[in-house]
Structure 1
């Protein structure tokens, strides 16, 4: 589905980034992973056959230089995916949350999404084709105890729709995936970083079971599910889809 395409995955060393990179490579794409930590990037690249570059997606000059470098090495950029962590902090009522914890994911999230999407769009509009993908939890639809996640998601939702309108006439599609609580991506370390108390694998399994119970399908999404959807959206099979968000929450909410 992605034969001879070039894909850049920002924040590509995480579990979702690795899963999408693997799916893209299997579909025929040449994949470049970008992120801040070389050790995790190296591991993800070894698992997927991708190339990797150390990059801070909040550094405007570095993002632009990296996009130019990928285009030079590969000849073009066909797919851009942003999975960069935003420093979300959750599980605390808004009345008890600091302004720093609330605004951090909003500022970081919209800045790095804008920078990477802009760098890709500049090159894609010039070549007359390309796909820009984003991913968030869909919390802008209403999610209590999610802190600044809802505001960050809302800002990125709006960015994707606006950018799609502006670059669509040049042959570039822009869309996003809503997904929350991808079961096999949840770890004690990841949950702790988001503000959850220390827990073991049994506690994580309990969280996944609870999330399962909240979904219409009674089954939380898996990495492979999201990777398959990201592959479809990046392919010509999705040529009519742009300016929208695909609800891949397994029915966490209706849309």
Structure 2
């Protein structure tokens, strides 16, 4: 589905990045992973047949230089995916949350997404085609106890819709995926980083079960599901889809 396509995955060393990279390379794409930690990037690259570069996706100059180098090495840029963590902090009522904890995912999230999307859009507009993908939890639709995640998601939702309108006439598609949590990416360490108390695997499994119960299908999306969807959206099979968010929450909410 992606033969001869060139893709960059920002935040590519995480569970979702690895899953999408594997799916993209299997579909025929040449994949460049980008992130801040070389050790994890190297490991994912080796396991997925990808290439990697170390950079901070919130560094405007670094992102622009890197994208130009991808075009120089591969001849073009067809797909840009941003999965960069934002430092979300959850599980605390807004009335008890600090300004910093609330605003951090909003400022970091929209800054990083804007930089990578704008950079890709400029290159793709020049070549007359391309796909820009984002992903979030869908909390912009309203979710309690999610802190600044809702505001960050809402801002990125709006960015995708606006950029799609502006870049569409040049042949560039921009869309996103709502997941409301990909349960096989959850670990005690990741949950603790988001504000949860450190818990054992049994407790994490309980959270996975709770999330499953909130879905219409009683099954949460998995990495393989999101990777398959991201492959479809990046391919010509998805060429009629732009300016929207695909609801892959397994029915966490209707849309």
| TM-score, with length taken from structure 1 | 0.99
SS at match of 2:220: coil
Which residue matches 2:121?
121
Which residue matches 2:84?
84
Looking at structure 2, the residues matched to 146 and 184 of structure 1 have their Cα atoms a distance apart, in angstroms, of 19
Which residue matches 1:157?
157
The alignment yields a C-alpha RMSD, in angstroms, of 0.4
Q: Does the 8 Å contact 1:89/1:195 carry over to 2?
A: yes
Find out whether 1:130 has 2:97 as its counterpart: no
| TM-score, with length taken from structure 2 | 0.99
Q: Does the 8 Å contact 1:178/1:247 carry over to 2?
A: yes
Which residue matches 1:30?
30
Gapped regions of structure 1 (runs ≥ 5): none
Deviation at 1:24, TM superposition (A): 0.2
Which residue matches 1:197?
197
SS at match of 1:177: strand
Which residue matches 1:49?
49
Deviation at 1:181, TM superposition (A): 1.8
Q: Does the 8 Å contact 1:181/1:208 carry over to 2?
A: no
SS at match of 1:34: strand
Find out whether 1:235 has 2:235 as its counterpart: yes
Query: For residues 25-80 of structure 1, what are the alpha-carbon distances to aligned partners after superposition, in whole Å with 9 as ceiling and x for unaligned?
Result: 00000000000000110111011010000010111100100000111000000000
Looking at structure 1, the residues matched to 175 and 60 of structure 2 have their Cα atoms a distance apart, in angstroms, of 22
Gapped regions of structure 2 (runs ≥ 5): none
Which residue matches 2:247?
247
Which residue matches 2:214?
214
Deviation at 1:254, TM superposition (A): 0.8
Looking at structure 2, the residues matched to 49 and 236 of structure 1 have their Cα atoms a distance apart, in angstroms, of 22
Aligned length: 255
